[in-house]
Each structure stands twice: as C-alpha cells, then as structure tokens.
Structure 1
Amino acid sequence: IADEEQLLSIFVKKLFTNLQYSIITDKLIERTVGCFNDLTHGYQSVRKLVKLDPIQYFINNHTQDLFPFLHPTSTLNRPQNSNLTVSSWSSLRTTFYSAVGRMLVYEFRYDDDDDDDRIEAFMSPFTNHCTRLVQIFKEFPDFSSLNPGQFAAMIQFNPTSASLDEIQSLIIGIIRDLRGLCSSLLSKQAYNSFFNWLYPSYLPLFLKAAYVFYDRKDVYNPILKFFHELTSNRQERLVFDSTKPSAYLLFRETSNLLYIFQTKTLLHVNTTIPETDGNLFYKSKLKPIVTCLKILQTCLMGNYVNFGVFQLYSDPCFDNFLQVFISILTTVKKSHLFSYPKLTLAYFSLIETLAGVKIDYLANLSGPLFGYILETISEGFLSHEQAIQNACCVYLDTFLTYVFRSAKKHSASANLMANVQEYEGLFRQILVNLLNGIIYSECKNIYTVSKPLLGLILLNENNFFTEIKQQLLYGHTQAKQAILSTALDNLMAGIDRTLKESNKENFTQNITQFRSDIQES
C-alpha cells in the first residue's frame, strides 16, 4: 500500500462489496452503511473520498442492479430472522443517500452549466422510478374530486400494472432516498437544482400517494418526513429566484399534504386505532403528528414565504395550514402530549414559533382551544426541560404584549377579552407558580421568565398586593414574611404600567435583585 489514498480506496471497495453481495445479512448492511456515513462527515474526508475511482464509479452507477440493497423489494424480502424492523431497514437508505449527498455537494458545481449533464445522469435512477410511478398512478381516479362516500367505494381499486404492495415499496424506497439526498443539499444552488428536478414533475406524485395510502403508516410517515426535510430552511438554502414562485408552490404543496393528512389519515386513525395498543397508536397517530408539528414550524420560521399573499389572492392554503394545527389540538389529549417527549418538544417549539408569527390567530381562538393552549403552557412551566419553559415564556410574553397593545389602541376583539376574562384564574395561578419558582427553585432562566412575569403582574395588579401577596407569604416565619413582603413591594419600584422592552429590562433588574434579597435572607 503506497499511501493513505490507496488504503482508503481499498476500504471503500470493501464497503461497496458488502452492499453489493450481502443483502441477506442485515447486520452487515447496517454497519456498512453506518461506516460509509461516518466517512463522509468532514470536509477533508469528503475531499479525499471524491477523488477515488470507486466513488466516481458509484456516482455514475448507483442503481439497484449494482446495489441490491437499494431494490424496492429488498424490504419485503428481508430474512425471517432479521433483527431490524421494516422501518429501520428502509431508513438505512436515507442514511446512505445522506452520505452520498455530502459528496455530491463537493463534487458537482450546481451553479455551473458544465455539470448539468452529470447532475442529470446522477438523478436518472430516481427519474426512472418516479416516471414509472407517474404511469402507475394514471390508472387511479382523481381521488381529490371524490366525496367521502365515493372514495370509500374506491378502496378496493387495484391497478393492473403493479400490486398495491409493490407500489407501496416503490414509494417508500424513493421517498427515503430523496429525503436522505435532500438533507445534505445545504447550498442554495444544490437545493434549487434538486427542487427544479422535483417540481412540477414528481412532487404532486407523493401527494397522490399520501391520498391513496392514507391508512398505511409505512407510507405516510416517510412522506411526511420527506416534506419536513424539504421545507427546512437550514443554512438559508431556500432562496429562490425572485422571478419564480417556487417558494409559494412549495408551501402550497406542503399545505395540501397536511390537508390530506388532516382530512383522511387523522380521521382514519381516530376511528380505527385504539389507544390501548400503545405501539401501534404511537406509530399510526402520534408519530405522524410529531412530524406535522415540525413541518408547521419549519414553514412558519423558514422566512421564505409571505403568508399575507395567500389572503390577498383568496388562496385557502394558509388557512388550511393553520386548520391542521387546530385539528391536532382537538385530537391530542393533554395526557398524551406530556407522556411522549418528542411530541411535547415539537408542540412547544411550534407554539413558540406560532406566537411570533401569528399571535393574533392564537389569541382569538375559541374559548376551549385557547384554554387548552393556556393549560398546556401552565403545565409546561413545571417541566424540567428549559427549552419547554422558554417556549412557554415566549408565548405568554408575546400574548400579553398583544393584549395590552390591543387594549391601548381600542382594537381588542370581544373574543380576545372574553378569553382573558374567562381564564383569569389560570393566569393568576401561572403568576403564583412563576414567583414560587423564583423563590424556591434555582431558576436558571430568570431573564426569560421575567418577560411574561411583568405582564402577568399588570394583568393581576388589582390583586397582586393583596390576595396573591398573602398567598406567597403563607407558611413562612414572621421574619421571613417581613423580608419577602418588602422584596415584593420593591418588585414594581420604578416600573411603568406598560410592556415596552425598556420597561421589561428594568423589571428584569428588579427580579434579579428580588431573587438576591430572598436568597440572602
């Protein structure tokens, strides 16, 4: 062995040999893909890899004929004693193409016309699979034009060109491959090249698949995850040509997918999947809901779509988009929300983002929905996860600021004021809990907590120095009560009755001093 390049070449050849001939050994496939993925992390590593002949050969020949591991039916043909689940087996394809994508970003110059032919050649296996699926789906009727009764009558429809199981395998395979590839395309040029290939030729295909296979979790879960990746504006990659409506088209297709999930899949799982079957219930209902919440968040925080345009042109996409959030609120019990950590984090992350983008929408929800959110916020403050506490602080601070500004401008809706009045007791309890947290707990995020605290005090100002103060003093010794009473009286010293940022900063200083006085006593 002459140098490290030759050694690396031998190593890569061995990895590819495993993928070519070891389809029946699932553990070997798993470890091989993991090793290949690890090799592609880091600029220097990728720079050396793409120079190797085996890698160059692979880039031009990544077909299922060369790698049976990528064959659509490989998932179905797994050995009976396989210790990998179907989902884990097929997800290896995502990992595999994620590694491949990192090499492509280095190898191809996506802003250079000279590489267009090479990029097209690389995408040709995906093009062939998608083209076949397009032809297959031409046999299906246009389900979107059918009413629920007509659609139910079409459930037994079977295409002649392929069985439903074969179509399912094709969809799962291609969607996982594309998700892995998309996850590594972090530059604007690479992402735009991928999106131009995907839309309009093939992206609507996956919406049809979600509609047809609305009751198969092995199909709609990967599709939702792919759209989550597609809408993620990581490293500001979703920057489109100002003369093209690509951003709006992407959002519209995403909104349509979520609408299908809301009207078909969610309705199906609510009526057929029992909560007692914990594993099936999670994979069929809660897992896709987690992904939907993530999609909602990535679209809202992506900063690549002006949502006001949809209202201007009477396009219902954004309204349907928000309605998905409402449907999730009405179908997820609070006990489930706090029992599954991934669901909890996804929910509060979305609440934080939605508060920054559409607080007027959240503030004017119907009483029960508003109460549901506020109750989860109250419980979220008791969480040990600082990210969840911070999300609760952001929501409450933004909401209270909106309330006070609306009241000052006399623009507060009757529904908004009714919500505030109806849940006055809950706002007061949150205030007491936050102050108790500052008094008795370590409270590492006191700066963040101080923001909504001022609004809560102003909202309950009539009772703060009477009922609430007595509630906080209860149970302490007389000496401690005197110190705590003085500290509470000084809490609003020099503070205006407004929620201006400068006033909040002054209140934060008072809170810090308040905590210091309590600890020293």
Structure 2
Amino acid sequence: MMKCLSSGQLTWLVYIIGAAIGGRASVNTCDENDAMDGELVCRVLQLMDLTDSRLTRGGCEKLELAMMSFFEHFRKIYVGEQVQKNSKVYRRLSEVLGLSDESQLLSVLMRKIITNLKYWGGSEQIIAKTLGLLSDLSGGYSCVRKLVKLEETQFMLTHHTAEHFPFLGISGVGTSEMRCRTMLYTALGRLLMVELGEDEERFHAFMMPVTAAMESIIGLLGSPDSPIFTSEDAKKTLIGLARDLRGLAFAFNTKTTYMMLFDWIYPVYMKVLIRGIEVWYSEPSVTTPVLKLTAELAQNRNQRLQFDVSSPNGILLFRELSAIICAYGSRILTVEVNKKQMYAMKLKGISLCFSILKAALCGNYANFGVFRLYGDEALDNALNMFVKLLLSIQQSDLLDYPKLSQTYYVLLERLAQDHMPFLASLQPDATLYILSSISEGLTALGK
C-alpha cells in the first residue's frame, strides 16, 4: 500500500513539475525562474535514474507516463532551435549532474527513450509517448544533427530489432500495438538521412532487419498449401513491415533516399505486399497498413518522384500501384458485411484505394499516354476498378463518412481535369451516380 501511495505521490509531483516548466514562455529568461527550473529538472532526472535502475524488477506505468509528460514540456522550453543554452537551468544541470551542454542532455533523453523501448514494450501508452518524444527531437533541424552524433542514436540505427526493442517483435504483441512502429521508423528515417548522402551500403546495412523480415515471409508467394500461407506469425510480420516501411517512406522526402527505398522494395518485395492483399483481403488489420504504405509510396512529396526522362521508374511504380488497387478492389467487392461494420471492413480500404489512385494521377511521374501506346492496361484497370468500387458504395455513405467523401471528390476532380474521355465513356448508371453524388455533395455544403 505504501509503495503504491508513494508512486502515486511521485507521479503527481512529476506532472506538476512538468506543467510548471511547460507553463513558462520561452522568452521569459528570469534568472530566478531558471534557477528554480534547474533544481526541479535535476530532481526529476535523479528520480528517473532511480526508477530506471529498478526496471528489471518492474516499474510504475503511471509514473513513467508522468516522466514522459515532463520531458515533453521540458523539450519545448529548454531543448530546441531557439533556446538559450546559457540559462541557469543548464548551469544547475552541470553542477549537479555534470550535464554541461545540450548534447549531453540529449544523450540522457536518448538513453531514456532506449530504456523505455526496451522495458515497456507491453505498454502501448508509454511506447507512444516515448516515440512522440523521439519524433519531436528528430524533427528539429539543428537538434537532429546533434542527435545523430550520439552513441545512443547510432545504437538505435543499427539495432532496431525485437531483441533490443521487444515491441518490434510478433510474439505477444497485438496488431493494434504495432501502430507505434510507423512513428519509430519515421524518426529513424530522419536520423538516417542526416549523414546518408548516396551511401547505398549504409542504407542496406540499416535495412538489414527489415530485409530479414521480408525474406522470412517470401513463402507467401508460394502455394496456398504452404503452412506460412495462413500463419498468424506471417500475418503479423507483414503488418509490422508495412508500418515500418510507411514510416521510412514518409521520412524519405528527397529523391535520393526515396530511390534507395524504391530500388530496395521493387520488384520482389512489392509482390509480397500484393500477395498479402490477395491472401488477407478481408482483414483490415492487414490491408489497412499495406494500403497506407502504398498511398505513401505514391506521394510525390517535395518532388521526390521526379525521375529522369529516360527512367521507366514512374511507369513501373504506377503499374504496381494499379496492381495493388485491383488486387484489393476485385476481392473486397465479393465481401458482404453488415451496416455497422461497413466502414471498418470495406469503406476504409476503398477510401485508401481512392487516395492511392489520386496520388498516382496527380504525381506527374508517369506518362499515361505510354500505357495506351504500348497496350498496357494498368491505367485502364485502375480507372475501371475505381468505377466498380464507387458503384458498390451507397450514396448516403459517401456523405456519412467524411474521409471517404474527401478522397472521392478530390479524385473525381482530378479525373475531370485530366481524364475526361474516360468519364465521358462511362455507362449511364455510372454517369448518373457521379452526377447525383456531385449534386448531393453541393446540397450538403449548403446545409
């Protein structure tokens, strides 16, 4: 009882300290306030050292969440791009804990992040908060360059495996708990990019754990008689990989890094994703991460998909996007679900397909005239699948689900701009559906 009581009291104190520090404006550099903050920060860091040293025997989840809340407030005020490092906070940290500069403080934060990822894999809340801190730290221009020079950061870049971070595994980890993996790999991708340049060897070294996981489920490409075909482990592995790769695809916003990822994933590993869709098309826990990864790969963010004139990569990418849309669409149309499960089981995936097609059509990385010139049906297949998916949706659902309506109307606008001959060639029922949806959408705006 006393242990729980003391942990509860400490939890509240840490929350209060974090709120007190976070409540200060960064421009308020009063020496007295800085000195007080420095003293409070030292106490929390000392408490952190004590609690972390006992984690092998278990810890207090609520206290850890309070710690992460404290670090979130502390980072906003004392770690970042426009923070004065000569305040009494840093002087006090130097006197008490020997942390004389921001790099040493960042090292402490990174050790805390690594510790949490190692010992708190069973707590989705703590993992999410910890990765949120890592994401915030990796998002700053100067901060990320200091981070990448730390031993702790290099450790994470070379040891992102289930052995060191159990939540990256599949044993005892639920599919919902894997959502955090995208955030981790977004941060790792940012850190990797700082000094990556065009070093493909370093990129492939970083990708080794991901490559090993991909190779472990290549059996999905085999016959349905294969045990791995329906293996729960294979399913979880694919879900985790899709989330990991989506994080990297989001972080790699330059042409060089994106091309490294594209060359790695195409063509073999793209087939794994398509095969996963074919096998588990009726399970959103699998299809949603794979479709979200595909949508991210289709995004021409920061002109990262501006391929050379002689490069076929834009066409190759579009063909893979089309294949995934058709693989999912043709199968999900055969699935019957009740009204309550309609969005989760069916409409969400259809909405993601619309997002993929919209990104592909407006990305300016594929010359669509080439498809018809050489008799390639990838474009026609994707557009025809869009119509089939659209006609399977009740018109009321288009307006009932905002995410679905947004992806639909944006895609329709793109088709009307650049693919009017296709719209003009539609059957009367499809044309009437589209015109009616436009009318309903305009009416809804006026309400």
- Do both share a fold (TM > 0.5)? yes
Q: Does 2:394 match 1:333?
A: yes
> Structure 1 counterpart of 2:368, which letter?
F
CA distance in 1, matches of 2:196, 2:444: 46
Q: Does 2:232 match 1:107?
A: no
Q: Percent identity?
A: 38
Q: Higher mean Cα deviation, 97-106 or 162-171? A: 162-171
Q: What are the ranges of 5 or more consecutive residues in structure 1 without an aligned counterpart?
A: 77-85, 142-156, 385-436, 442-521
CA distance in 2, matches of 1:182, 1:61: 20
> Structure 1 counterpart of 2:160, which letter?
H
* Per-residue CA distance 1:449-505 (angstroms, 9 max, x = gap): xxxxxxxxxxxxxxxxxxxxxxxxxxxxxxxxxxxxxxxxxxxxxxxxxxxxxxxxx
Aligned residues: 349
> Structure 1 counterpart of 2:202, which letter?
R
CA distance in 1, matches of 2:185, 2:172: 16
Is the CA contact 1:273–1:281 (under 8 Å) kept in the aligned structure 2? yes
* Per-residue CA distance 1:325-346 (angstroms, 9 max, x = gap): 1112210111000001111111
Residue aligning to 1:295: 356
Q: Does 2:216 match 1:137?
A: no
CA distance in 2, matches of 1:238, 1:282: 32
| C-alpha displacement of 1:370 | 1.1
Q: Does 2:343 match 1:273?
A: no
Residue aligning to 2:93: none
- Go from structure 1 to structure 2 and tell me whether the alpha carbon gap of 1:74 and 1:248 turns closer, same or farther (over 3 Å shift): farther
Residue aligning to 1:96: 184
Is the CA contact 2:183–2:247 (under 8 Å) kept in the aligned structure 1? yes
* Per-residue CA distance 1:223-271 (angstroms, 9 max, x = gap): 1111100111111101224333111111111111111112112222xxx
| SS of 2:191 mapped into structure 1 | helix
Q: Does 2:384 match 1:323?
A: yes
Q: How does 1:3-82 map to 2 (within 5 A)?
A: 3-76=101-174
Is the CA contact 2:300–2:363 (under 8 Å) kept in the aligned structure 1? yes
> Structure 1 counterpart of 2:362, which letter?
M
Residue aligning to 1:194: 261
CA distance in 2, matches of 1:291, 1:105: 28
Is the CA contact 1:186–1:237 (under 8 Å) kept in the aligned structure 2? yes
Residue aligning to 1:513: none
Residue aligning to 1:151: none
Residue aligning to 2:240: 173
Residue aligning to 2:205: 121
CA distance in 2, matches of 1:289, 1:232: 18
Is the CA contact 1:158–1:164 (under 8 Å) kept in the aligned structure 2? no
Is the CA contact 2:351–2:403 (under 8 Å) kept in the aligned structure 1? yes
Taking structure 1 as the reference length, the TM-score comes to 0.65
- Go from structure 1 to structure 2 and tell me whether the alpha carbon gap of 1:312 and 1:163 turns closer, same or farther (over 3 Å shift): closer
| C-alpha displacement of 1:16 | 0.9
CA distance in 2, matches of 1:133, 1:336: 36
Is the CA contact 2:362–2:414 (under 8 Å) kept in the aligned structure 1? yes
Is the CA contact 2:168–2:240 (under 8 Å) kept in the aligned structure 1? yes
CA distance in 2, matches of 1:354, 1:101: 34
> Structure 2 counterpart of 1:216, which letter?
E
Is the CA contact 2:110–2:152 (under 8 Å) kept in the aligned structure 1? yes
Q: 1:205 aligned to 236, 256, 272, which one? A: 272
- Go from structure 1 to structure 2 and tell me whether the alpha carbon gap of 1:10 and 1:162 turns closer, same or farther (over 3 Å shift): farther
| C-alpha displacement of 1:201 | 2.7
- Go from structure 1 to structure 2 and tell me whether the alpha carbon gap of 1:219 and 1:351 turns closer, same or farther (over 3 Å shift): same
CA distance in 2, matches of 1:289, 1:195: 24
CA distance in 2, matches of 1:334, 1:244: 41
Q: 1:356 aligned to 395, 408, 417, which one? A: 417
- Go from structure 1 to structure 2 and tell me whether the alpha carbon gap of 1:229 and 1:25 turns closer, same or farther (over 3 Å shift): same
Residue aligning to 2:227: 160
CA distance in 2, matches of 1:28, 1:377: 45
Q: What are the ranges of 5 or more consecutive residues in structure 2 without an aligned counterpart?
A: 1-98
> Structure 2 counterpart of 1:348, which letter?
Y
Q: Higher mean Cα deviation, 245-254 or 186-195? A: 245-254
* Per-residue CA distance 1:198-219 (angstroms, 9 max, x = gap): 1123111111111111222211
CA distance in 1, matches of 2:109, 2:334: 50
> Structure 1 counterpart of 2:354, which letter?
L
> Structure 2 counterpart of 1:95, which letter?
M
Is the CA contact 2:314–2:366 (under 8 Å) kept in the aligned structure 1? yes
- Go from structure 1 to structure 2 and tell me whether the alpha carbon gap of 1:351 and 1:162 turns closer, same or farther (over 3 Å shift): closer
CA distance in 1, matches of 2:172, 2:143: 30
Is the CA contact 2:330–2:385 (under 8 Å) kept in the aligned structure 1? no
> Structure 2 counterpart of 1:255, which letter?
S
CA distance in 2, matches of 1:298, 1:335: 25
Residue aligning to 2:435: 374
| SS of 2:185 mapped into structure 1 | helix
Residue aligning to 2:375: 314
| C-alpha displacement of 1:42 | 2.3
CA RMSD of aligned residues (A): 1.7
> Structure 1 counterpart of 2:422, which letter?
Y
CA distance in 1, matches of 2:381, 2:166: 41
CA distance in 1, matches of 2:330, 2:350: 13
- Go from structure 1 to structure 2 and tell me whether the alpha carbon gap of 1:13 and 1:242 turns closer, same or farther (over 3 Å shift): same
Residue aligning to 1:259: 326
Is the CA contact 1:68–1:74 (under 8 Å) kept in the aligned structure 2? no
CA distance in 1, matches of 2:393, 2:119: 46
